[in-house]
Structure formats: C-alpha cells, structure tokens
Amino acid sequence: MRLHIEWLRLLMTMFMLLTIVATNHARCILATIQYSEKYTDSTYEYRHVILPQETARMCPKNKLLTETEWRSLGVQQSRGWVHYAIHKPEPHILLFRRPLGTDPVPPVMSWLLR
C-alpha cells in the first residue's frame, strides 16, 4: 500500500512538472507570433501573421485554415478575420482579411458595453 502511495505521488509530481513545461512552452510560442499592422483597400482590411517555424510545421500545407484551426495554433485576433490566401514561398506567413467596417467586438460584448 505504501509503495502505491509513493508511486502515485511520483506520478502526480511528474504530471505537474510536465504541465508547467507545456504551459511555459505555449507562452513562448505565443510570444513569438508576430502580427503586422492592418492595411486596407476599398473593400477589405488586411493583416498578416508570422508564425514561428516550430508552429508552422504543425500547420496544414496547401489549405486555408478555419478560424478554429488558426486559433488552435495560437493566433489571437478579434472577430471577423478570414485566412484568405497562401503565400507559397513563405507558408509560415498567414494572410488574413475582413470586410471594412467589421465590428471586432462580439455582439454579447457590444450589448454589455452600451
């Protein structure tokens, strides 16, 4: 019985350490994602996001990402952005756009801010 308790303590300690390492690793990745300034034409607002190479390797190739997919890579943006193109020479750079005038605040938040 005592051996089981010791093993359980060891496993819990290892789990906690792995959680700390994974959390710190995720923070490092989020800190290295680079966001461009926004730029516009007559229809859309644009921006590009540069992923670290490590994150880009996890990114599906030759496929536009859904919002769920790009958010799962750690990209953080207000609402309305769509991954609209792939720049083949630099697939680690994600190209986004949204229609001009898109309200970046979710409807629930808009209601709360009134």
Q: List, for residues 6-20, the tens digit of each pLDDT value.
A: 777 777 766 665 665
Judgement on whether residues 51 and 104 belong to the same structural domain of the protein: yes
Task: Give the range of the structural domain holding residue 15, as residue numbers without chain letter.
Answer: 1-32
SS3 30: helix
Note the pLDDT tens digit of each residue in 28-38.
444 589 999 99
CATH at residue 94: 3.30.170.10
62 band by pLDDT with thresholds 50, 70 and 90: confident
SS3 2: helix
Q: What is the pLDDT of residue 24?
A: 47
- Is pLDDT of 23 > 60? no
**Which comes out higher in pLDDT, residue 4 or 63?**
63
Contact 104, 78 (CB under 8 A): yes
- pTM for this prediction: 0.66
Contact 11, 62 (CB under 8 A): no
Residue 94: exposure state from Cβ atoms within 10 A (0-12, 13-18, ≥19): buried
Judgement on whether residues 76 and 91 belong to the same structural domain of the protein: yes
Sign (positive/negative) of CA torsion 63, 68, 72, 74? positive
Contact 33, 74 (CB under 8 A): yes
Q: How many domains does the chain have?
A: 2
Q: Cα–Cα distance between 90 and 104 in angstroms, integer?
A: 27
- Is pLDDT of 25 > 80? no
Q: What is the pLDDT of residue 100?
A: 95
